[in-house]
Structure formats: structure tokens, C-alpha cells
Chain A
């Protein structure tokens, strides 16, 4: 059983297009995250939702809009894609109420903007 899944795994698109990445977790966690990994492998938090409520919103262009329809899903919509958006996007989930909780990561979505 896949714990955290993302679709699509690969996404190649033209500048200016709008695209969405979907994430689902079946671990029963109450919190989900989006991270961006750049070409140098550096990972940075973008957003987090706890029980469908936005709790982390880092300095990310407002072309990026997360949506959480329920606790098990967190989608990322990107408008007007730019070359610099090319990266690997990882979804993760965990329980929030105690510290030290392990975050479980999805396999990543490799986005290439041409």
C-alpha cells in the first residue's frame, strides 16, 4: 500500500501554462506539506495544512495555490508557469500534535517548464 502518493510523477509543460499536482495520504495523518527541491537538491517548505486549514505559508509567489479538500488530500495548483518553477515537488504528511513526528514523503513530481 502506498502511504503518500503524488500524481503525476513527471510533468513537462510550456511557460505560461497552468498545472496541478495532486497528493493523497492513507496514513490517517492530520497534516500535509508541500516542499520544493531545486536543481542543487536543496529542499524548502512551501505550504502546510492541518485538518484542511493552512498553517504554513512561506514566501511563495501567489501563482502557487494549495487546496486541501479533506485531511487526506493536498493539491498544488500553479498558474502562469515560469522557467524557474522547474523543480521536484514533494508532498509529505505527519501528525501535528506532538513534536518529533516523522514526516512521510511522496515519490515527488518532477516538473520541467520549457
Chain B
């Protein structure tokens, strides 16, 4: 079945550092790809998405490009802030799967002042 793999472990970095979170996927159809963010004690919010190959999603300084050739959707931000501390989830959905979201395990990001 469809699945998403995120890099292992929490990510700790200093304010204004460059952030990358790796995400790769396995899918039989033509999935849409998403990054969701979960702030402490809250639900999930869509951060950005891309619905076809080579699309770039962007929001709040975050970017990710849908790379079909490497089946990847890595998340990047050039200069993180303390307020970016959260858990980040990569996910995919496919209309043939009734749009169920398959999530990666999530990465806790901690930004230190």
C-alpha cells in the first residue's frame, strides 16, 4: 500500500538556521503530497501541498517540491524561528484510496533561541 517515510529522530537547531526534513513516498497511483504541522497541544494544520510532479508548495517561508523521479517531497526553510518549533508530518493521499491520508512518523523540530 501507499506509504511515507520521514527521516528518523527529532531535529534541534538554532534560530536562523537552515531546516531540511526528508520525506520519501511509495505509491501505486498519482498521489498528492502534503506537509502538515502540529503545534503543541493542537490539531494538525496544512502547511503546504503539491498535487503533481514538479509542483512546488510554499507557505510561511517553507518550501517542498514534488519529485517523481526520486519519489521525494523534502521540506525546507531557509531561516527558522523559535515559533517554528512543532511536529511536522509528511503525508500523501490518492483519490483511488478515497483520499485517505497516509502519514509519515513525524519529526519533532525544536528551535533554540
Give the interface SS of chain B, mostly helix, strand, loop or mixed: strand
Q: What's the tally of chain A residues with a CB closer than 8 Å to chain B?
A: 29
Chain B residues near A107 (CB, 8 Å)?
A: 42-43
Q: Mark B69-84, 1 if CB is under 8 A from A, else 0.
A: 0000000000000000
- Cβ of A100 within 8 Å of any chain B Cβ, yes or no, is yes
Assess whether A100 is in contact with B101, with CB atoms less than 8 Å apart: no
Q: Which of A33, A45, A48 has the most CB of B within 10 A?
A: A45
- Cβ of A61 within 8 Å of any chain B Cβ, yes or no, is no
Chain B residues near A50 (CB, 8 Å)?
A: 98
Q: Which of A41, A50, A104 has the most CB of B within 10 A?
A: A41
- Cβ of A56 within 8 Å of any chain B Cβ, yes or no, is yes
- Cβ of B5 within 8 Å of any chain A Cβ, yes or no, is no
Assess whether A105 is in contact with B44, with CB atoms less than 8 Å apart: yes
Q: Nearest-CB distance from B11 to chain A (Å)?
A: 14
Binding site for B on A (CB under 8 A): 4, 31, 33, 35, 40-45, 48, 50, 55-56, 90, 92, 94, 96, 98-108
